[in-house]
Structure 1
């Protein structure tokens, strides 16, 4: 490398060996990180089992649990899991994770870390979360008494409004295996964040092993900062994926004090674009004033052995074709609540306002983050939060959770684009197999390719709109002022020069850079989708062109067949018409009442009947003959009407409009014929005089007479109807090109004779 000014000057692009080396190092780093996390998890589980067995032995010796683990009141005791398996919440508490045991040293909880980020606790939130505890009976009462709106009632279908279900014991399923309400598909992650910002998973794997995942999730969310815990958490992150209706009710019960859960569940159910609701200081509900919500709405592929929820939009199994891509509309919500006191009030800038001022809460107060994901694909990221991270406050954890959702959204959108491209693009065999080419170029009877192109083109367009809404929701809300802590209502920093606030802005700037990267990927994905749409449109136009040509050829063949059938029918008709009068005559002469028929009479009758009939049919077979017969028939009926009027002594009836038009046309035609004959005779006499060399100029009287004849002829020609007027200069109506040429020559000679311009 070239040295410049005492420092290395790196080339603009690394060579291929360097790139491979960097990739190998990154892979090794990922492998080491994964091994570290696995080892930490195993150590954590081993410590948990050892402590649980130690506490169990103490309980067996003394007969009662330690005083630190005894419940405060009878109402806080959990219900027994089942009659066949003895045990209560008191027994389960004895097997709780290290985060809930007093004998465990503080260093093993994960709250103290050797990392540089976790060295100074003054940089992090120090106010612990308010302790809380819930039990199943309180949950049952909440599900019965709460006023559910229409949307949340739909999400909790089968639980709310179902007395038999609410009376079941246990209320939450406590067995492993496949469950009817699909609680076994629910996945969760719960983390407690300590005063040094470290993240510790709340582990109840021993309950999940014995009583199922639904019961383990209930124990993870029913308690926060119990008295048995030596070092309390200042923040909590709760992530639940694909919860069943009863677990939706459990989330609603435990979180309704901090969040407007009807609002959050309504976002999951509503058919809307992604949105962010962050500036809510002027809301009437105090829970909304403290909370910040980001709602994700887009699409995903349905995973194997997964089913969308009843309220999610998805194609039915009966509508899925072999080429069908199983897509469902999915949603998630990320919410943050700040539990501390307000630090200031801001004025409401709206003209129509219900409140003049609104509170702003301290971003360094105790907090909770709730993330509910409804994606039936089992593709969510599980490494968004881990023990290697240290969160300064709730906004940082909130933005990190949103960043993980953005990454998952990009991965899901990319997978849908790949599936659609694979379905609509011609396979490689297209270049060599004529059968595949014909299949893609010409449409079949079920319009398979047209349907496929239409669906793919429209779906990619809808996906682009969803991606744009997702990007806009982020860019319109998280401005530079928000990231720098200068916004008036969204996480403002009162003292920007303090060490804690500087550390917070530094971490937020790094987080913002990661957001910029994922947003750039989403924008590139929109461009790729637009390119795919143009390709699909070209393929669809080629399909329409090929199919149109094919249909045109089929139409020509069908027309030829129709014409041939018409000729055959006409021939059959003519043959039938020929034999029809003969049949009539033979039928008459075949009567048994006629004695000794004479063949001469038979011949006369046959000719009398058949010949007029054939003439009539032949004339009616042309348009001219049909018009002639129509005119004659109308004239006949008119004459009959006159005759009957004369016979009865009445006035002559008025001719119908059709007959009057016919008479007018006949009289005009006769007058035009007479004028035409007179004009032709005059013109022929003049022409004969010119041919013989006779000059009418020498005799003034003769020339005057000739002028008058010409003028009379021109006037007569002008009075002739255009329908029967011949070309001027022709003595007789010509029927050939030679006659027209002779007529033109005579006209030229006439004009030379009378001195007119040629």
Structure 2
């Protein structure tokens, strides 16, 4: 395995030096041609076949641009064929360079002075200002010379932990890495990154690039500013910064033909958002959502929100005008761009770990155009996401599952079954359950972004705005669709793996839910036993308090009696009969009362009696105060109303007699009618011969009694007056 890695590294190194090899081979070829020409002047021409040269890259020289491309049988084919045989994939090399992008990128050059002016003059949005906070809010930092630190060793902005990969893709589709390792050895990594991204197709480079791949991992704030400065011509870098900070889930921003900004029309963005475990010696950025705990115990998993942006920009002209179907659109038409134009691809990764894939782009893989490189980069991010999800899944599994010693150690079983005073396992299960749920949401968002964006029309090259193939039957379009078919199969495999990850997470969540229920059950049993023990203790304490209360109650009346007889104003002769009689008179009823109150029946009896007594007292008070009130009011009215009372009495007596006579007559009429109807003989009742007289006599007695009461009341009131 180690030998294979060494061979692969040597092959990559040889491929990186292909330019120098081609130049040397060209010189040898020209020298041989001169020798053949000189030999031809000296003697007859000898037919010979010149050695074949490898594929030549396009350069800025006019004479070299006019040369005819030759078929490559050199180092590039050798290394690629070897890598393909080693991995089992088909060779990515095709002899016809017309199948690849041929237009080159425009030369670009940026300096530290231009970077300084850009950082000072640019109007940063809130996202860019948050990322570059330590740079743009520090005037002394912007005036620092050099602006990008060149000293070796650790730096305050942690730029020494940043990583980069920059590739120039030539007309043959092979990405050649820009190696500035010598600058890292002599100065700093930040200066090497700046050098790699600040120059595009600059002399004395002869192999001009048709595409540029820029990958920056965990850049420091000043390097974020450098990326913004060098790429703002091709991308809306403020938008890329916003995708890095916003926690809205993974999403694809691909259908942008109708945007106002031309940079957005020609660019395609795919942002990833998920989580990763913070690696040792790594530190999340200030704007990242992360676990900020410095001390990491064995049962603690430090997680941070991770984000990555993959963006592609096509520099060529628009090839199709597309009508905007939206009724509320500002632009009635949009434009789609040629997938075979020169291109820039940028990948900004903010993952504080060491698990990024480094072999997504290398010299053994050729890209026919920018969209293929973009899809390959997105595919690499999907694989990295799966690795990080798998790592978190394993960490959570080891955190919540019982260790192997669980089967043999009762103390471990007790710790896992019963909760402690700090609620350790409840908090641990809750965190693990919710974290796996958030991971599944992140994975689903990622899958939805892939499936909703890369539809059948995209894979077939018939989409109106997303990399349309105008001549679908041309050789390079047919070749590109063949490559897309292979990429589609790889995407489907990764999406299927992500779905399996969701199923595994759900299964683990069900197990965590079961562990929570078992913990709750065990803790409930333990609490029930504790409650029973506490109840017994409480009952025992109640008995003790009751005994103490009875003892104190027993001595309470005795204390009262002794305190009374201990007064100084009591008789001084020694006579214990009085003391004994009083003691018995006070204590015995008191003890009987307390004894009865100590039973339910006695308590009920005394409660009823007490309520009845209080009710009677209330009625008596009401009668007493009501009688006094009536007496006071009647006394004042008696003198004024005496004549009227006399007339009222006579009238009332006569009315009463008349009423009784009418009632008796009506009753006799009803009785007679009933007797006639029923044909019954009339009833002979001697006691009711003259009921009016009987009633009259009773009424006279009542009248005399009432009159006598009123006379006495009048005399009393008159006497009071």
Aligning the two structures, in what range does the TM-score lie when normalised by the shorter sequence? 0.7 to 0.9
User: Do the aligned residues in 1 keep the contact of 2:18 with 2:75 (CA within 8 Å)?
Assistant: no
**CA distance in 2: counterparts of 1:46 and 1:224, whole angstroms:** 18
**Could you tell me whether the CA contact under 8 Å between 1:221 and 1:254 is conserved in 2?**
yes
Could you tell me which residue of structure 1 aligns to residue 533 of structure 2?
557
User: How far 1:38 sits from its partner (Å)?
Assistant: 3.0
| 1:206 and 2:221 correspond | no
Verify the 8 A CA contact 1:392 1:504 in the aligned structure 2: yes
2:587 match:
610
Tell whether 2:298 aligns with 1:298. Answer: no
Q: Distance in 1 between matches of 2:249 and 2:622?
A: 86
SS of residue matched to 2:583: helix
CA contact (8 A) 1:111 1:199 kept: no
Query: Aligned to 2:597, which of 612, 617, 620?
Result: 620
Distance 1:421 1:377, change over 3 A: same
Q: Does 1:548 align with 2:524?
A: yes
Deviation at 1:631, TM superposition (A): 4.1
1:220 deviation in Å? 0.4
Asked if 1 retains the 8 angstrom alpha-carbon contact of 2:198 and 2:230, the reply is: yes
The one-character-per-residue Cα deviations of 1:492-543 (angstroms, maximum 9, x if unpaired) are 1111111111111111211222212222211111111111111111111111
Q: 222, 232, 257: which is aligned to 2:233? A: 257
- Supply the distance in 2 between the matched residues of 1:176 and 1:368 (Cα, whole angstroms): 30
Q: Please report how far the alpha carbon of residue 162 of structure 1 lies from its aligned counterpart in structure 2 after TM superposition.
A: 1.8
Aligned pair in 2 of structure 1 residues 34, 476: CA closer, same or farther (>3 Å)?
farther
Equivalences, count: 575
Quote how far apart the aligned CAs of 1:40 are.
4.2
User: CA offset at residue 590 of structure 1?
Assistant: 3.0
Deviation larger for 632-641 or 550-559 = 632-641
1:526 aligned counterpart, secondary structure = helix
Task: Give the conservation status (yes or no) of the 8 Å contact 1:313–1:328.
Answer: yes
Displacement of 1:151 after TM fit? 1.3
What is residue 280 of structure 1 aligned with on the other side?
Answer: 256
1:354 is aligned, of 330, 333, 336, to 330
Following the alignment from structure 2 to structure 1, what is the Cα–Cα distance between the partners of residues 440 and 283? 25
Deviations 1:530-566 (A, max 9, x none): 1111111111111111111111111111111111111
Decide whether aligned partners of structure 1 residues 358 and 42 sit closer, same or farther in structure 2, where only a CA change above 3 A counts. closer
Match of 1:41 in 2: 13
Q: Secondary structure at the match of 2:176?
A: strand
Q: Normalising to structure 1: TM-score of the pair?
A: 0.72
Distance, in Å, in 1 between the alignment partners of 2:114 and 2:437 is: 47
Question: After the TM superposition, which residues 452-467 of structure 1 pair with which residues of structure 2 at under 5 Å, given as runs?
Answer: 452-467=428-443
CA distance in 1 between counterparts of 2:198 and 2:100 reads 25
Instruction: Show CA shifts across 1:262-299 (max 9, x none).
Output: 00010000011100111100011100000000000000
Residues 381, 408 of structure 1: 8 Å contact kept: yes
Q: Which runs of 5+ in 2 are unaligned?
A: 24-56, 81-90, 631-721
CA distance in 2, matches of 1:519, 1:209: 41
Please state whether the residue corresponding to 2:573 is helix, strand or coil.
Answer: coil
Closer, same or farther in 2 for the Cα pair 1:47/1:400, shift >3 Å? closer
Tell me the distance in 1 between the aligned counterparts of 2:629 and 2:587.
37
Distance in 2 of aligned mates of 1:610 and 1:652: 44
CA drift at 1:608: 1.3
| In structure 1, C-alpha distance between the alignment counterparts of 2:251 and 2:204, rounded to whole Å | 40
Q: What is the rounded CA distance, in whole Å, between the counterparts of 1:277 and 1:40 in structure 2? A: 34
Question: CA distance change for structure 1 residues 611 and 318 in 2, over 3 Å: closer, same or farther?
Answer: farther
**For the Cα contact (< 8 Å) 2:172–2:366, is it kept in 1?**
yes
RMSD: 2.8
Match in the other structure for 1:83:
none
Deviation readout 1:420-472 (Å, 9 max, x if unpaired): 11111111111111111111111111111111111111111111111111111
The match for 1:677 is: none
CA distance in 2, matches of 1:499, 1:302: 48
For 2:338 and 2:425, how far apart are their aligned partners in 1? 58
Q: CA deviation at 1:241?
A: 0.1
Counterpart Cα distance in 1 of 2:245 and 2:226: 17
d(CA) in 1 for partners of 2:109, 2:156: 28
